[in-house]
Structure 1
Amino acid sequence: MLVSWNWLKQYVKLDMTVEQLEQRLMMSGLNHEGTAQVGDDVAIDLEVTSNRPDCLGHIGVAREIAALYPQSLALPAAAPPESATQVDSLAKVSIDCPDLCSRYTARIIRGVKVGPSPDWLVRRLQTIGIAAINNVVDITNYVLMESGQPLHAFDLARLEGPAIIVRRAVPKEPFEAINHKTYELDREMCVIADARRPVALGGVMGGADTEVSTATRDLLIESALFDPISIRTTARKLILHSDSSYRFERGPDPAGVDWASRRCCELVLEIAGGELAAGVIDVGIPPQPRQPIVMRLNQVERVLGIPIDRGEICRILASLGNEELRADQHLVEVTPPSWRRDLQREIDLIEEVARIHGYDQIPEDAEVPMSASARSDDDRVKVRVRHTLSAVGFDEAMTASVVSDELSNAYTPWTSHDPFSCQTPLLRGATRLRRSLVPSLLAARRTNEKLANPEIELYEIAKVYLADGAELPTEKKMVALTSGGDFFHVKGALESVVAGLNPAVNLQVTELEDSLFEPGRCGQLQLGEDLLGFLGEVGEEGRKRFELRDRTTVAEIDLAVLARHANL
């Protein structure tokens, strides 16, 4: 992220040297990557971590400086004058895919004069490596780099309707971007369309058909919020990355959508002239209020190892935009600002206090009280299970929790509900949270057979994710085994596991029929009245499905049931 020294001075006083500012920002978490002299300005390159999209604009960096060097922040009012004409009489906006675009705002300016930008605007953009195009496009880029909120300007006369329809792309729908390259879209991509065709790729790039030129007289200014995962997927599929997509992937300030729109219109009226229609077309979900966070003052000293004055703590939190709800001798309760979505918990506020107070103010030998935590019963059960299975010749395996549709549907003894899906696949073709460990272990066994290691005996202790009609899955920790031995060999290993936890408990086996297993070689396992799991030799059809050559036996048991019957 390149920032301009002269640009920052518009919002905060810079009484320090460039080197002093770079050092202070680096100590607060904005790592300094480099500095370059650009004319009478200085470009500072900062590394902004993915959890701090608020610093992907000059105002966000200025907020940090105002907190580090206690001072006020001067922000533009963004209050453009409006004409008598109502904006909703000039265009219509609708969102057909709220999961991809949660909010869309539009303002209209008529009678602009598109031409070269003034020198000050050209210099600001050149300092941070952006070439000037024309005054309207330069203003949208300026506000993007000022606020971190991407915008787009359409030539209103070239919009059919005029209407804006935010929708999913039609499979194989062609789209010509402003880089004059044509892309083939799919249904997972969000497009901004008019009444006839796509005019922009939502959150990524505008279209060539409606780009602003010297012939443009009327503008529609877009400021919106798009789904970060959708933007990331689209940009990667099309290999089409932009400053806008970079920011939408990380999530701009939800409350900054309207401010950026007003700021853009203010500058257009000032530089390109025209009249702004009254009001705004605002479709979708408005910004939601943030939940308050309570921070105990004694926790600050416990975590950091040094006492910090309550007044200083309150000053730091307020300087970062937190709204104080109450404060006393024991705690502070604040509502985080809309632009700091990384502030969710008490420890996040403590980190902010340490960051702004200065990590260099915390002695290296500061005493932080620590106490050893006791091992839970579940952990002790897992340790005994591991020791027992290792002792009888099994090796521990680790397989991915996200599997393909084929593996997900291969064996599901614990639920009949459909699996949960991941929006972003961690592995190619793997989108389902697994409902059993058995298919993953059988796939691992197949790999070992192909690598001339057919005698391998594997076990895995991991979670499965079961749907029960709720929004989130029920997570259960399981133990699964696979062996080239027969039914009784694996049953013996499980009896050793049970005996290692409680010798007084007997493992009961009831015959069961399942299409994956050989008839008469499959059983349901119980401890008393509790269902423990399942055991069986994989049948011929199952071996074909998993491409297994040799005899294979598998079992899967519920770790929570084991823990209930354990005598620790």
Structure 2
Amino acid sequence: MLVSWKWLQRYVPLNMTPEDLAQRLSLSGLNHEGSQAIDQDIAIDLEVTSNRGDCLGHIGVAREIAVLYDAPLSIPEARPAAEGPPVADQVSVENRFPEACSRYTARLIRGVKVQPSPDWLVEALRSVFWKKRRDGSLEEYQPINNVVDVTNYVLMECGQPLHAFDLAKMDGGGQIQVRPARRGETLEAIDHKRYELDPSMCVIADASQPIAIAGVMGGADSEVDESTRDVVIESAIFSPLSVRRTARRLKLHSPSSFRFERRVDPEGVDWASRRCCELILETAGGTLAEGSVDTAPHTPAPGAVTLRLSQLERILGIQIDRDEVVRILTRLGCEQVTDQPQQIAWNPPSWRHDLTREADLIEEVARIHGYDQIPEDAPIPVAPSSKRSFDTAVEQVRHLLTAAGISEAMTPSIVTDRLDAMLSPWTDRPALQTETAMLEGARRLRRSLIPSLLGSRAANWAAANRHADLFEIAHTYQPGARSSDLPDEQYSLAWVYGGSFAQSKGIVETLLGRLGVTLQMEVVGETLEGFVADQTVRLKLAEETLGFVGVVSDQLQKTLKLPEPVTAAELSLPVLLAHCQLVPQFQAVSPYPTVSRDLNFVIEESVRWSQLRNVVRSALGTELTDVRYQETYRDPEKDGQERKRVLLSIDLQRSDATLTGNEADQLVERIISRCEQQLNARLLDS
């Protein structure tokens, strides 16, 4: 942001050197980038952060100087003489796009005489509109005419963009529409380039066609020139998101879009309009119509922010006099709402949209009082922060997986169509896509972490790193049922592993034990594209899908040029963490002996070990302390086709007494009976 030394003097006395001013502004948050002598003036280049849109005009910078030096501030009243008929009888505004334009105002001046700008206006604009050429020489501002130059002057004066339309070039006799662009519409802007518009963009239109790209640039067909006699002055508020999206899509950036993207003063819209009309009447003559057309004349007041005086000392480490605090905030434009001994409530000014919290007010007091007034050894009490449960759990997950020899990876959230199409265990809905590729050839928001990890494993293999076992903890983006729904951003844990299916499943079971999950995990066979059919399972906890474990299919291995089998797993962290007990719980150890029994069941080939184990567990209560798989044996001649023998061991124990032989036999009979009823199992005699 370039500000002129001479220009600033119109609002605040500068009884200091330019060097002193530059240093003081830097210490208060407006970093000094450099200064340049322009004719008899000095242009000061200030770095304005994105939250300080109020300093993108000379009045905003002058307001800062007035507070820093406790100097008087003088702002023009902007009271143009309106002698024409009411503007509402001559101009109408219809806002069809309030999401992109919260307020639109219009004024009308008839009978202007467009001619070259006066010297004072040209001099002011040349002091701030210039840039250096490659050879070091300055490219000066080229004045346009008195009307257009006035709109640029007011822009640099207060930071509110304006635009002037030639009424005679607008179809419909002063009918203005704020609406989305229609598909296929184009506009030739005042830079004399034609831009193709789409319905996401907001345009200002007359009765038949767009005449400006809202918040970005006006159209050439309605621009003011020497033949113009009647002008419509636009002053509006356009949504920062809408302006930023449009400017980026069209690759068209302007001083107006720069300011709208950083928000403008909602109450300064009308002042800027009146100021512009006042200067046009002064430089171009004409008759101003009475009043203005305003689609939202009443702006909502910002909420009050309470400042506790004790917090100033706690955070800054120094005491600041109460009167000094009141002086600083009052001079910054804050309005005192309540005044109590230990706290004061303030209404922030309309131009300071960034003052929403107590910490913001403390920062304002600190930077105006002077950061250099805070000693380096100021005592500031610091309390250690506590970890979130999520961080504690994820830390344990990382420790376990790295202990298993799996390295953590970080892969992009945007993937190529090829990677996304490999597999998607969570959903079969099409992936969401970005409008512009974030990486070369990558536009899809990933629905699973596994394809990215498989791609990384393949890249490692190509680089001669054979054992690239990788895991990642990151978001996946599950599309909603409707295209307009926001995606479900699910935190997921996934890994690809050169070990067997049983090893990957064992990692899941160990993970559940480490995190204190006491629920029994249900394992259900699943058929998923990209995995081997009979070596893929869905894992459930309390009827919720925890995740998937499976062996990557041969076809996918060949596609990725992976010579060895790979298992992959992906878990939903929200489901996992919902059942965690991160604080270890005490469990008393029974002092009574354990009774162990081996049971050899003949069951259907389709029955999985997890099903058998769950049935055994459900048959007993706390007396069953462990169920262990031993082996599987097949004898078609004795047991029949599609049957198998599964040998398991159980441990029985009571916590209040020694388990007798008869009691143990009764418990075993309950297990056998339950397995016969639910799994059609048969116990082999020993």
Structure 2 length-normalised TM: 0.75
CA contact (8 A) 1:87 1:279 kept: yes
Q: Distance in 1 between matches of 2:563 and 2:97?
A: 48
Does 2:203 align with 1:191? yes
Aligned residue in 2 for 1:29: 29
Does 2:176 align with 1:147? no
Q: Distance in 2 between matches of 1:451 and 1:312?
A: 65
CA contact (8 A) 2:517 2:580 kept: no
Aligned residue in 2 for 1:50: 50
| Corresponding residue to 1:133 among 141, 144, 147 | 144
Q: Distance in 1 between matches of 2:291 and 2:251?
A: 37
Helix, strand or coil: the match of 2:211?
A: strand
1:54 CA drift (Å): 1.0
Q: Distance in 1 between matches of 2:418 and 2:182?
A: 28
CA contact (8 A) 1:166 1:191 kept: yes
CA contact (8 A) 2:416 2:441 kept: yes
Matches within 5 A, 1:90-489: 90-129=90-129, 130-162=141-173, 163-283=175-295, 287-401=299-413, 436-448=448-460, 451=463, 453=465, 455-464=467-476, 476-489=490-503
1:397 CA drift (Å): 1.4
1:460 CA drift (Å): 1.3
CA 550–217 in structure 1, closer or farther in 2 if over 3 Å, else same: farther
Structure 1 range deviating more: 506-515 or 300-309: 506-515
Q: Distance in 2 between matches of 1:319 and 1:423?
A: 46
Deviations 1:81-102 (A, max 9, x none): 2235221222332233333333
| Corresponding residue to 1:537 among 546, 551, 564 | 551
1:237 CA drift (Å): 4.0
Helix, strand or coil: the match of 2:82?
A: coil
Does 2:554 align with 1:565? no
Does 2:78 align with 1:78? yes
Q: Relative contact order: is structure 1 or structure 2 higher (C-alpha 8 Å, sep ≥ 6)? A: 1
Structure 1 range deviating more: 61-70 or 514-523: 514-523
1:171 CA drift (Å): 4.4
Helix, strand or coil: the match of 2:75?
A: coil
CA 167–484 in structure 1, closer or farther in 2 if over 3 Å, else same: farther
Unaligned runs of 5+ in 1: none
Output the aligned Cα RMSD.
3.3
Deviations 1:216-263 (A, max 9, x none): 110011112223333334334444332112212222222222221111
Structure 1 range deviating more: 246-255 or 541-550: 541-550
Does 2:529 align with 1:518? no
Structure 1 range deviating more: 151-160 or 236-245: 236-245
Structure 1 range deviating more: 145-154 or 269-278: 269-278
CA 317–439 in structure 1, closer or farther in 2 if over 3 Å, else same: farther
1:503 CA drift (Å): 8.8
Q: Which amino acid aligns with 1:522?
A: T
Deviations 1:469-512 (A, max 9, x none): 99987665332222244422311222232233349775442223
Deviations 1:39-87 (A, max 9, x none): 3322211111222111110011011111111234221112222235221
1:159 CA drift (Å): 0.7
1:366 CA drift (Å): 0.9
Helix, strand or coil: the match of 1:67?
A: helix
CA contact (8 A) 1:378 1:560 kept: no
1:361 CA drift (Å): 0.4
1:543 CA drift (Å): 6.4
1:549 CA drift (Å): 7.4
Q: Distance in 2 between matches of 1:478 and 1:279?
A: 59
Percent identity, aligned pairs only? 53
1:377 CA drift (Å): 3.3
Q: Distance in 1 between matches of 2:521 and 2:287?
A: 82
* Length, aligned pairs only: 568
Does 2:32 align with 1:12? no
CA contact (8 A) 1:102 1:285 kept: no
Q: Distance in 2 between matches of 1:212 and 1:11?
A: 30
1:267 CA drift (Å): 1.2
Q: Distance in 2 between matches of 1:64 and 1:107?
A: 31
Unaligned runs of 5+ in 2: 130-140, 585-686
Q: Distance in 2 between matches of 1:409 and 1:94?
A: 46
Pick the structure with greater CA Rg. Answer: 2
Deviations 1:180-225 (A, max 9, x none): 2333334443332222333222222222221111211100111122
1:413 CA drift (Å): 5.8
1:363 CA drift (Å): 0.6
CA contact (8 A) 1:86 1:279 kept: yes
1:338 CA drift (Å): 2.0
1:536 CA drift (Å): 2.4
Deviations 1:269-290 (A, max 9, x none): 2221111112222236953332
CA contact (8 A) 2:425 2:528 kept: no
| Corresponding residue to 1:499 among 509, 513, 519 | 513
1:151 CA drift (Å): 0.7
Structure 1 range deviating more: 429-438 or 156-165: 429-438
Structure 1 range deviating more: 395-404 or 72-81: 395-404
CA contact (8 A) 1:67 1:320 kept: yes
CA 131–515 in structure 1, closer or farther in 2 if over 3 Å, else same: same
Helix, strand or coil: the match of 1:488?
A: helix
Helix, strand or coil: the match of 2:533?
A: strand
Helix, strand or coil: the match of 1:250?
A: coil
Helix, strand or coil: the match of 1:83?
A: strand
